[in-house]
Amino acid sequence: MANHAATKKDVRQSRKRNERNRYYGKTTRNAIRELKAVDSKEAAAEKVPSVSSMIDKLARRGIIHKNKAANLKRKLAKGVNALTTK
pLDDT classification of 1: cutoffs 50, 70, 90: low
Q: Which residue, among 37, 40, 42, 48, has the nearest Cα to 76 in the 3D structure?
A: 48
Q: How far is CA 5 from CA 8, 9, 55, in A?
A: 5, 6, 36
Q: Which amino acid, residue 21?
A: N
Q: Structural domain boundaries of the chain? A: 5-82
Indicate the range of 2-6, 24-28, 60-64, 72-76 predicted with least confidence: 2-6
**Does residue 38 or residue 84 have the better pLDDT?**
38
* Torsion 84-58-62-14 (CA) sign: negative
Task: Supply the pLDDT for residue 72.
Answer: 97
Q: Which residue, among 33, 34, 26, has the nearest Cα to 64 in the 3D structure?
A: 26
pLDDT in tens, 6-33: 999 999 999 999 999 999 999 999 999 9
**CATH 1.20.58.110 is held by the domain 5-82:** yes
